[in-house]
Amino acid sequence: MRLTMKIPKKFFPVVFAFFLSSVMVLVISGVTTLLNVGITPDFLFRWLRAWLLTWCVAFPVAIFVAPLARRLTERVIG
């Protein structure tokens, strides 16, 4: 028998914001780091540092902006 723990559905907005902000910031910080410093011996360190610092801002912003983005989208979609 396999035991699976799931997070309750009421936490969907927070978990969604966590995953979305994590992936978006990972990609954007990687591109920005690459453009600013190029491929250097410490590129990975710089990228992960940039990701962590910017994710700490992006995650809370994503939580609070998501409802506004949802309402705006509902206004412009048929």
Q: Which residue has the tokens 């914001």?
A: 17
Q: Which residue has the tokens 């700490």?
A: 56
Q: What is the pLDDT of residues 24-67, one digit of tens each?
A: 999 999 999 999 999 999 999 999 999 999 999 999 999 999 99
pLDDT computed for residue 30 by the predictor:
96
pTM attached to this predicted model: 0.79
Confidence band, pLDDT 50/70/90 cuts, at residue 5: confident
Cα–Cα nearest to 42, from 31, 51, 52, 33:
33
Confidence band, pLDDT 50/70/90 cuts, at residue 2: confident
Residue at 36: amino acid letter? N
CA distance 22 to 72: 23
